[in-house]
Structures are given as C-alpha cells and as structure tokens.
Structure 1
Amino acid sequence: MDLFMEMLKTDSTSSRERGFSEFLKKRLPDGRCTVESFEVGDGTENLLFSWGKPEIFFCTHLDTVPPYFPPVHSGGVMRGRGACDAKGQIFSMYNACLALADEGQEGFALLLLAGEETGSFGAKNFRTVHPGGKYVIVGEPTDNCMVSASKGTKSYRVTIKGKSSHSGYPEYGLSAVELFVDFVNRLRLADLPSDPELGKTTYNIGMLESANPQNVLSESLSFRLYFRTTFASDGVVQSLMERLGDNSYIEIEPFGGDTPSRYVTLDGFDTKTVAFGSDAPQLTNFENRILCGPGSILAAHTLSEYVLMEDIEKATDNYVKMFRILKTGKRS
C-alpha cells in the first residue's frame, strides 16, 4: 500500500513521466531482477525489469492524462490520478512479479512504457529496439476481464476555408462555420457498417478553432476528427473522408491511428470487447498479446478516478494465474 501511495504522489502526466521512471528504477528492484532503460528520444524512457530471460512480459504505461491530483485512500478505495490508468496496473503487476519470484519462478519481466496517452510513442520505440517475446500481458482498466477485441482509431485534422466579410453583409463572404455545419451534417448521414463483434463506429470532434470575431464571417475553421473503428468499418473510413473532402474548401490531413485488434483469451477468465485504445496494437514484436487489468475505463481520465483495492488484489492473483497457464502452454 505504501508503494502504491508513493507512486500516486508522483506526477507523471504525459511528457513529465521521467521523474516517475527514475523513482521506479530506484524503488522497484528487489535484488533478483535486472533493470534496463531505453531512451524514447523525447526525454522519456521505457523500463524493463527482468527475472531471468523473459518470455512472458507484464506491460503497462508510465504516463497519465492531466490534470494531476493527489491520492486519497479511504474505505478500500484509492482515488487519485493514475489509480486505475495505469499505476494500479503497475502496482498489481509488480506484486505479481514478486509473488512469482518468491515461488522461484523466472522467465518473466515487467515492461513500463512512456507516452501511451499521447500516441504510444514508448511502445513504438520499444518494438524497434527489442525483439519482444512469446507473450505480453498489457494492463489497462478492463474490470479484470480479458479483452477479446478492441476498436481501432483513425485521426484527422480538418481545415475548412471560407471568405471573411462583415457579418451584416454575409452575401459578400462565405462562412467557414456554415461550411463546418454542412460537413458535420454529411458526416452524420454517412452509412458506416455495424460490426457484430465491436458494434457501431463512433467519432468525436475536438480542438475546434475559429478565430473570427462575432461580427465577422469565419475565414478559416479547423478541428480534429477522431474515429473509433471496427473490423467492418476500418477500411471504409478513409474513403468516407475522401468523399467528404472532395471540394476546394476542405483540407483533410490524416494523423494515423490503430487498426481494430483481437487478443488472446484464456479459459477461466471473464472476457469482453472494448472501445478504447492502448499500447497493445503497437507491440507487434510479441507473438501473442493479452489485454487485462483492474479498474473501470469509465473512471479513467476523470477527476474522480479511482480503483478498488480488492480489484488490485484480484488483478495480482490473475496475473500470477496467467503466467502459470502460459508457462505450461495449456491455454485451454
């Protein structure tokens, strides 16, 4: 509990996680593991704690979303930034590693990655500098369920060009705001296929900017458009964006994303699908990927983020069980 509280007292919001990783390098080694650091290139680092030569990796991320707020523990509930995304995963995975080491087990590691919340930069870097292994168990808030599949993502920056004029004489201009409304209406009418496994494709608009005063028609408006895609729609979204941008006043710039993914599940564990992203799709240097961890995604990224300590304990037990199953090779 003291370690978990110390972890939560350290601000590791994205781009500031270096102090947290330096703390963990000193605090986590138990005399039985080796520690490696991998520079990501942006001032952050990935950490790898290994017990023997690992084939099974427990993995989660170092950074959290802003804003930071300090931890409070009461009544079996731990509140604070990172409680369930993803310092609760670090804590439960580390405890699982200690339990396995106490049993005399080896061949496992704890991999902690930077920059998950801002584009999985740590995971993308790690796959280029490390061969990976047979299994990676990625910790995210999944209510301790094993995830069978997750939605993909596609991100775009959209710029709409209008023509400014005095708002009293709109006939002499072309409002980028009105063109934006037309764009959104066309987007809402788009017939994206539903997926029997992952459900509907959804989207969100953010970072909306138009600098015009209230009495001047907008000359330019920009925003980010972020899709959550399914197996049925992932290949369709790009063609949709090409149709929506097929005119002289709309510019569309793709910003990447992940494809929908399927993961390994094991008998004896609850399973479900999820709509959120993680480092897992980027860890292509591993043969098999598992996604599972304590906490609820509905609490993550909120100002009331929390995790139940009983869920942390269950996650630790789950990770130990997963290791034993994978070590014997008897997955079903």
Structure 2
Amino acid sequence: MDTLTALAFARELIDIDSTTGHETAAGEWLASRLRGLGYSVTRQPVADDRFNLIATIDPPDVVLSTHYDCVPPFFPSRVDDGTLFGRGACDAKGILAAQVAAAERLRADGHRHVGLLFVVGEERGSEGALAANAAPLGSKFLVNGEPTGSRLATGTRGILRVRLRARGRAGHSSAPEHFESAIEKLIDALVRLRTLVLPSHPIFGATSYSVGVIEGGVAPNVVPARAAAEVLFRIVGDAGDVLVPVRSLAPQVEVEEILRVPPVQLHTIPGVASASFPFTTDIPLLDRWGVPLLFGPGSFLVAHTDNEHLHVAEFESSIGTYIQIIAALSA
C-alpha cells in the first residue's frame, strides 16, 4: 500500500463520524476494507451494535493495535499544505491507516504473521480493550498506536477518574441563607482540591488532573440541591495514593471512583527514539496480547482539539518505522 493509498484510506475513515458510542458505521466500513485486502476479519461484540475488529492472515506473532473511536465533536478531513486535518487525524485514524499500510507492505514481502486489532471505546471507559483482553490471539508482542511524535514510549501515566457529588437543600433563591447550595459546596471542594499534595515519580513526573465535567442546578432562581463534577487524574503510581487525599474533601462532597488504569513502563528498541508520555492508553488493559510497545505519528498536544492534524511526511515515515519495529521484534 503506497502512501497516497494509505492517506486516502485515512481520509475515508476520518470522514465517518465515530464519536465514542457511535462507532458502528466506521467499523462496518473498516471491516469491509480489510476483507477486501484479503484479511480474515472477526467482529468482536462489545456493547449494543459496537464491535472490535481483529484482522489476520496467518497466526500473528506481532499485533498492531489502536482505536477507531474519537472524541467529539466530529469534523471531516482535509489536506492542506502537506498536513492532514480532521477528527482522528492523529488520534487515532491516521495511525490506524499507517498500521494497515505497514502490515500490507510486510505482507507483500512475505511476512504474514502480523495481526491487526482495532477497538472501540478507548476515549471513554476502554470497553473495547476489556473485551479484547478476554480473547487474545497468542501474539508475542502488541504494538499499540497513539500519537507519540513518532517515538517509542518508555512509559505512560495511568488514570483515576472520580465523580465528586455535593448535596444541598433546595429552596427559593431570594433567601439562600435558609437553604444549602450544592453548587457552593462543590466549588469549595474544587478549590480545596487545588491545595492537595499529590504523588510524584522520577520518570512520570507529578500527578496532574483536569476537571472535565461540572453539572448542577435546575434554574437560576432555585438554590441547587445537587451538583457533581468529574475529575480525571493522570496518576504516576498506585491509584490509592491519590484517592486518600481526595477523600479528605468529604464531607463537602462524596467521592465515587469510576475508573482506574495503572501507569506502565514499556518495551523499547535500540535505534528508535523514545520518551515518556503523560497520557494513558489501552495497553494496561491488553496485557494478554503480548509484550507491549507504544508508537505513533502525530502530537498528543493537538489531539482532542479543533486543530487536530498530522503532517503527511510524518505519516509516511511512520509506516517505515512500524516496519522497522516489527522487523526488530521478529528477529
């Protein structure tokens, strides 16, 4: 598969909205294209009509993996001045296309023991990875794709996702002193959150967090009885070391753990540039698929933005690097 064909593959996939929870149309297209290339394709059910895709020629020693869901909002592809734009350009549909191109070039050279695993739900909850880990193929290595700036990751942070709930007593807003505002309690707790001492690590750095969702209240003239926020911590060690100080926010808020994924240190290859990354991937949840590596073109700093993009030159060179990685793992 030449670069122009791979780029067209990426654009067609980007142009199908596959916001997390709505991946079916993209999965149908992808399954059809992979079958057209001669792969044996298995649709692995995940939830409702959503599914992972597993594509093989011969039993794989190495599996290339990424996700085909994207964060909202969807926007279609375009190529401008040597750069591919669109939702999923670097996270991770452009990467997926580069992986397919690498597998195709290897197959043309007689290397048929490379598999493909494309999952749903990575951007929220990792449902696809959890389902995939229940049915591994016996591969020796898993090369996962995320935007690492074309460097192999030496490690990635984990995540701890929590919901903070505040409860108050509703009433008429003209007399707030007679009632309890859940929103005020939540705000106070979030201010205290800024002061907590959170763990650090010599490789991963300091724990960070983002308040991604806030909700509460029913009307401007009603003292709110309920409010909540979702906070995503990028953890550098055991999740419990973050939960302990976060639980000190009680009794202003209740703390509910939603999801935890541990940080990981990863396999690297001499001759391929490497670095540590602050984000989290599906790798900790795919531990039955072989020794993990993480590599992909593009920058995570433009992922999830309205300027998401991938330089075509880097896209092209990453195909060669995937081939280099697989050759080293197969030696």
TM-score class, shorter: over 0.9
Please give the secondary structure, in 1, of the residue aligned with 2:320.
Answer: helix
Contact 1:33–1:52, Cα closer than 8 Å, also in 2: no
> Aligned to 2:81, which of 75, 98, 106?
75
> Aligned to 1:244, which of 246, 249, 261?
249
Contact 2:263–2:280, Cα closer than 8 Å, also in 1: no
- The residue correspondences of 1:223-302 to structure 2 (distance < 5 A) are 223-231=229-237, 234-245=239-250, 247=251, 250-302=253-305
> Aligned to 2:11, which of 2, 5, 8?
5
Amino acid of the structure 2 residue aligned with 1:206: G
> Cα 1:219–1:285, aligned 2, differ >3 Å: closer, same or farther?
same
Residue ranges of structure 2 left out of the alignment (5+ in a row) = none
> Cα 1:325–1:189, aligned 2, differ >3 Å: closer, same or farther?
same
Q: CA deviation at 1:4?
A: 2.5
TM-score (norm 1): 0.92
Please give the secondary structure, in 1, of the residue aligned with 2:276.
Answer: strand
CA distance in structure 2 between the partners assigned to 1:132 and 1:255 by the alignment: 30
Identity of aligned residues (%): 32
Amino acid of the structure 1 residue aligned with 2:206: K
Amino acid of the structure 1 residue aligned with 2:285: Q
CA distance in structure 2 between the partners assigned to 1:33 and 1:171 by the alignment: 67
CA distance in structure 1 between the partners assigned to 2:68 and 2:37 by the alignment: 22
> Aligned to 1:155, which of 161, 173, 178?
161
Q: CA deviation at 1:140?
A: 0.6
Please give the secondary structure, in 1, of the residue aligned with 2:205.
Answer: coil
Q: CA deviation at 1:26?
A: 1.8
> Alpha-carbon deviations, 1:43-88, whole Å to 9, x = none?
1111111121101000011111121111111221111111111111
Q: Where does residue 210 of structure 1 map in the other structure?
A: 216
CA distance in structure 2 between the partners assigned to 1:180 and 1:68 by the alignment: 31
Q: How many equivalent residue pairs? A: 325
Q: CA deviation at 1:212?
A: 4.7
- The residue correspondences of 1:84-233 to structure 2 (distance < 5 A) are 84-231=90-237
> Cα 1:132–1:253, aligned 2, differ >3 Å: closer, same or farther?
farther
Contact 2:165–2:186, Cα closer than 8 Å, also in 1: no
Residue ranges of structure 1 left out of the alignment (5+ in a row) = none
Q: CA deviation at 1:201?
A: 0.9
> Alpha-carbon deviations, 1:9-54, whole Å to 9, x = none?
2222222221112112222336553222211132111111112110
CA distance in structure 1 between the partners assigned to 2:224 and 2:20 by the alignment: 33
CA distance in structure 2 between the partners assigned to 1:114 and 1:125 by the alignment: 10
> Cα 1:148–1:172, aligned 2, differ >3 Å: closer, same or farther?
same
Root-mean-square deviation (CA), in Å?
1.8
Of 210-219 and 263-272, more deviation after overlay is shown by: 210-219
Q: Where does residue 66 of structure 2 map in the other structure?
A: 60
Contact 1:263–1:290, Cα closer than 8 Å, also in 2: yes
Please give the secondary structure, in 1, of the residue aligned with 2:180.
Answer: coil
Q: Where does residue 325 of structure 1 map in the other structure?
A: 328
Contact 1:234–1:260, Cα closer than 8 Å, also in 2: no
> Cα 1:105–1:131, aligned 2, differ >3 Å: closer, same or farther?
closer
> Cα 1:168–1:22, aligned 2, differ >3 Å: closer, same or farther?
closer
CA distance in structure 2 between the partners assigned to 1:31 and 1:82 by the alignment: 22
Amino acid of the structure 1 residue aligned with 2:179: G
Of 202-211 and 282-291, more deviation after overlay is shown by: 202-211
Q: CA deviation at 1:181?
A: 2.9
Amino acid of the structure 2 residue aligned with 1:236: D
TM-score (norm 2): 0.92
Of 161-170 and 81-90, more deviation after overlay is shown by: 161-170
Q: CA deviation at 1:293?
A: 0.2
Please give the secondary structure, in 2, of the residue aligned with 1:326.
Answer: helix
Q: CA deviation at 1:286?
A: 2.3
CA distance in structure 2 between the partners assigned to 1:217 and 1:12 by the alignment: 39
CA distance in structure 2 between the partners assigned to 1:203 and 1:280 by the alignment: 20
> Cα 1:74–1:134, aligned 2, differ >3 Å: closer, same or farther?
same
Amino acid of the structure 1 residue aligned with 2:270: D
